[in-house]
Structure 1
Amino acid sequence: MLENREPFDEEHALLREGVRGFIKAEITPHFPAWEESGMVSRRFWQQAGAAGILCPQVPQAYGGPGGSFKHNAVVIEEFAYAGLAGPLSDLTVHSDVGAGYLLHLGNEAQKQKWLPRLASGETVCAVAMTEPGTGSDLQAVRTRATPVAGGYRISGSKTFVSNGQHCDLVIVVARTSEAPGAKGISLILVEADRAGFNRGRKLDKLGQWSADTSELFLEDIDVPHENLLGVEGGGFAALMQQLPQERLAIAITSIAAAQRAFDITCDYVRQRKAFGQTVLDFQSTRHRLADLKTDLAVGWAFVDQCLNRHASGQLDSKQASIAKLWCSEMQGRLVDQCLQLHGGYGFMREYEICRLYADARVQRIYGGTSEIMRELIGRGL
């Protein structure tokens, strides 16, 4: 289902071929070691930049490939289908989220300074939203960016930060005033080499072992006014504006990873024998797989519809929330049933379905939990 789909043309097909080659040559040989160590190597970022797969949507004027989000989607699909949830999590935050904020909110000086570095892999970007006590409630952010002469002094702590150990630049969600709720929230660029920037522990997770997920501690970090991204107090609105693309990226990840789980399960049940016949020969197996294939077909159709809407500027928050909710929930159901069809071997980490099962769980949590998606969808009824 990845190829020959309506949203994509020949240029996308060439990119898809290139990404597959990059994965085979530069990631597959190292992936087990990355899973063991708990994060990708720094060399991965330079290699990805040299291969032109970082920040595909960044214009050539800012050092990028000059594509659109559909090019980002190709990269997401290929990484997800290859079972590379850890590296993809880091890549998505860097290319789709971080670069997206800079591209749409940054002033000319910020774009000229940072986007070429992100596209080349010289600079690794992180986004620090979540705090130990906030979760999905970004209006409850407690990190402070107190106005001082010439800029801001930032203090606070963040958790679940993708690229936390490798990052050179962090987009920090902080409160710049005492205005209630969302009104006092701003986005501020913080370089990792500033005094007071401290990396916490690399977090031990259920899945996505090679994803660089960490705590960050910001202790009286002084940054200049020019590090403000967008307008002061406009951070929450900016986050809401960019969330549809982020949630679409999660939906794409879910559907492509679910397709992978389905495909390897079909191969497995064709070969595995029980009671003198293959597992696929049992009618119950075929009917279960028929349901899963139907779920995938429906999911791909809606994802492609959302991709086209996003390309024309028509994807709204409700549609993106529906895509994120349905695809991530479907992925969870599908990988569970695919693991069941593997029997006891499905519980073994050496079998890919086991890793796909563990990696899938967070899809229903980050980018807004399924409960939050239902609330957002329900408000429009």
Structure 2
Amino acid sequence: MDYPFSEEHRIFRKTVRRFVEEELNPHVDEWEAAGIFPKDVYRRMGELGLLGIRFDERYGGAGADIWSSVVFCEEMGRCRSRGLTMSVLVHTDMSSPYLYKYGSEALKQRYLPALIRGEKVAAIALTEPGGGSDLAAIKTTAKKKGAQYLLTGSKTFITNALNADLFFVACKTDPGAGHRGISMLIVERGTPGFEIQKLPKKLGMHASDTGELFFENCPVPADNLIGEENQGFYYIMQGLQNERFASCVAATSSAQQALEDAIKYAQERELFGKKLSEFQITRHKFAKLQTKLEAARQLLYHAARLIEAGEDATMIVSMCKAFCADVACEVADECLQIHGGYGYIEEYDIARFYRDIRLWKIGAGTTEVMYEIIAKRMGI
């Protein structure tokens, strides 16, 4: 189905898919084993114009629409390293948009062009050791002293921690004001009082470098404040919609790829004298999964239309995050089962997909939090 994609979108899709298939997928085993991928990947993506799709051309972006972002996320979702996909989306859709939407013009001029060219890598630092979903309870503080803030505290589960040059850090500038006292600062790697430590090996998303951040009276220029002081919570609540949307577009595309892989395997695998795909139970299982994936995709496209129209998409995006993550995890489980014992070893991509996809029910807001948001929007 062509709608809602134009010829320009289709050409762009081919560009991203070719990049993923030719320049990423041949190397994912190496990068997964290393637990990180080269920063040159960002530079190459910058050369191809993939890192600032919806940012204004005056900063080096493409000035494209929401559907171009959908295409990008769908095609990045077909990377055989979902960890790499997540790291890239943290840069493009979960960190730098705060600067583009809320940053001062001087701050944009200083950092955005380098982020769009892939010369600098971005990370978002919200989660702390004491909690993730309850943003209002963060304990990292930033005390104003002259023309700078002194940042003290810690963050954990930070994607791109080892590769990032710029960290978008949520902190309390008014600790006594709860969520009304949160601000966001851009902190550069190498700032005195700022240390980074790699986290132990994760269940999945291995090529995505993940770490902890430690700040001890870390001096940050006051000019590095994103938007207004004590308005960070509201910026983040808006930014999380973008994060959740991008992540579940990629997750749904990854799940579609996993289903395609399982179908191909079933068409080749023989059991009791016939192909596995010839058994009715197998074909019906595939049909059920494809139906759920199509429902997930259409829900995502509905959210995209709301975003395109400038309407509040919070409830629908929350539905997307909960539903798409559930469907993707169901696809992982069922497709691994189709592979039998071969699904339990690393010879086939389904094992990695099974490990990787589970994060989407946790990251960017757990499924439980999504249902709470939906319930509140329902007035219950």
User: What interval of TM-score do these two structures reach, taking the shorter chain for normalisation?
Assistant: over 0.9
- Structure 2 match to 1:26: 23
Q: SS at 1:313's partner residue?
A: coil
Q: SS at 1:142's partner residue?
A: coil
Q: Deviations over 1:5-24 (max 9, x none)?
A: 42221111111111122123
Distance 2:103 2:11 in 1: 30
Distance 2:354 2:268 in 1: 21
- Structure 1 match to 2:145: 148
Equivalent pairs, count: 378
Q: SS at 2:77's partner residue?
A: helix
Distance 2:46 2:117 in 1: 4
Which of residues 207, 223, 232 in structure 1 aligns to 2:229? Answer: 232
More deviation, 35-44/75-84: 75-84
1:203 Cα deviation (Å)? 3.7
Which of residues 81, 98, 106 in structure 2 aligns to 1:109? Answer: 106
Q: SS at 1:29's partner residue?
A: helix
Q: Deviations over 1:253-276 (max 9, x none)?
A: 121011011111111111101111
- Structure 2 match to 1:303: 300
8 A contact 1:55–1:96 mirrored in 2: no
- Structure 1 match to 2:262: 265
Change (3 A) 1:44 1:255: same
- Structure 2 match to 1:91: 88
Q: SS at 2:26's partner residue?
A: coil
Q: Deviations over 1:203-227 (max 9, x none)?
A: 4111111011111111211112111
- Structure 1 match to 2:128: 131
- Structure 1 match to 2:289: 292
* Mapped pair 1:196 → 2:193: yes
Distance 1:332 1:221 in 2: 40
More deviation, 22-31/42-51: 22-31
1:84 Cα deviation (Å)? 2.8
Q: SS at 2:167's partner residue?
A: strand
Unpaired stretches in structure 1, ≥5 consecutive residues: none
Distance 1:34 1:280 in 2: 33
Distance 1:197 1:244 in 2: 29
8 A contact 2:28–2:80 mirrored in 1: no
Which of residues 325, 343, 348 in structure 1 aligns to 2:345? Answer: 348
1:58 Cα deviation (Å)? 1.1
Q: SS at 2:3's partner residue?
A: coil
8 A contact 1:98–1:127 mirrored in 2: yes
Distance 1:24 1:291 in 2: 28
Q: Deviations over 1:121-155 (max 9, x none)?
A: 11101111000111111111000101111121001
Percent sequence identity is 37
- Structure 2 match to 1:7: 4
Q: SS at 2:131's partner residue?
A: coil
Give the RMSD, CA atoms, in angstroms: 1.2
- Structure 1 match to 2:160: 163
- Structure 2 match to 1:47: 44
8 A contact 2:252–2:297 mirrored in 1: yes
Distance 1:56 1:87 in 2: 18
Which of residues 199, 206, 209 in structure 2 aligns to 1:209? Answer: 206
8 A contact 1:172–1:188 mirrored in 2: yes
8 A contact 2:157–2:199 mirrored in 1: no
* Mapped pair 1:177 → 2:174: yes
Which of residues 239, 244, 265 in structure 2 aligns to 1:242? Answer: 239
8 A contact 1:258–1:331 mirrored in 2: yes
Q: Deviations over 1:132-182 (max 9, x none)?
A: 111111111000101111121001111111110011111000001133320
Distance 2:187 2:168 in 1: 6
Q: Deviations over 1:10-44 (max 9, x none)?
A: 11111111112212332122211110100111111
Change (3 A) 1:37 1:127: same
Distance 1:6 1:308 in 2: 12
8 A contact 1:127–1:161 mirrored in 2: yes
1:55 Cα deviation (Å)? 2.2
8 A contact 1:182–1:236 mirrored in 2: yes
1:315 Cα deviation (Å)? 4.2
Q: Deviations over 1:299-345 (max 9, x none)?
A: 11111111121112124211110011000011111110111011000
